[in-house]
């Protein structure tokens, strides 16, 4: 039964990873604007024209 200690450590570590991911996503501003994403998802993806593929 004491093997549960290993399980505990594993679960808390995984949960901590999720917590860190949450903190990172808030820090990079992903939750600042709730409204835009809702509309953005409705746009069609048009094929990208040849002229605008400059990458820097």
Partner 1 sequence: MSSSIASATKIHCYHCGEVCNTNEIHVREKAFCCEGCKMVYQVLNEEGLCEYYDLNKNPGITQNRDARKDKFAFLDDGAIESKLISFKNEQQVHVTLYLPQIHCSSCLYLLENLHRLNDGIISSRVDFTGKQVTIVYLAKKTSLRAIAELLTRIGYEPYISLNDLQHKKPAIDRRMIYRLGVAGFCFGNIMLMSFPEYLGIDVTEATLRSVFRWLNFGLSIPVLLYSAFPFYESSYKSLRHRFLNIDAPIALAIIITFVRSAWEVLSGTGAGYFDSMTGIVFFMLAGRILQDKTYRQLSFDRDYTSYFPVAVSVIKNGAETPTALPGIKHGDTLLLHHEELIPADGILTRGKAYIDYSFVTGESVPVYKETGELVYAGGKQTGGNIEILVVKEVAQSYLTALWRRDEFKDKSTKPVSFVHLLSRYFTWIVLGIALLTAVYWQMHDTARVWTAVTSIFIIACPCALLLSNTFTNGSILAILARNHFYLRSAQTIEDIAGVSHIVFDKTGTLTKPGQDINYNGKALTETQKQQMVALAACSGHPLSKSLVKLFAYTDHLPVTAYKEIPGEGIEGKVEGVLVKIGNSGFVTSNTDSRGGTIAYVSFDNIMYGWFRFSNRYRNAVPLLVRNLKKHYGVSILTGDNEAEKLRLRKLLGREDVLLFNQRPEDKLNYIKHLQQKGKKVMMIGDGLNDAGALRQSNIGIALSEDTNNFTPASDAIMASEKLEKLPAFIRLCKANRHIVLASFILSITYNIIGLFFAVQGNLSPMVAAVLMPSSSLGIFLVTFGSSHRLAKHLQL
Over the window 13 to 52, marking each residue x when it contacts partner 1 by CB under 8 A and - when it does not, the resulting string is: --xx-xx--xx--xx-x-xxxxxx--xx-xxx-x--x-xx
Measured CA to CA, the distance from residue 56 to residue 54 in angstroms comes to: 7
| Distance of alpha carbon 17 from alpha carbon 15, whole angstroms | 5
Instruction: Name which of 10, 30, 11 is nearest 22 in CA terms.
Output: 30
CB of 27 to partner 1, least distance (A): 7
Give the interface with partner 1 as residue ranges (CB under 8 A). 1-2, 4-5, 8, 12, 15-16, 18-19, 22-23, 26-27, 29, 31-36, 39-40, 42-44, 46, 49, 51-52, 54, 56
């Amino acid at each position: 039964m004491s093997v549960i200690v290993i399980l505990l450590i594993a679960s808390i570590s995984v949960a901590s990873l999720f917590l860190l991911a949450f903190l990172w996503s808030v820090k990079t501003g992903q939750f600042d604007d709730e409204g835009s994403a809702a509309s953005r998802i409705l746009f069609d993806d048009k094929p990208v024209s040849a002229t605008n593929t400059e990458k820097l």
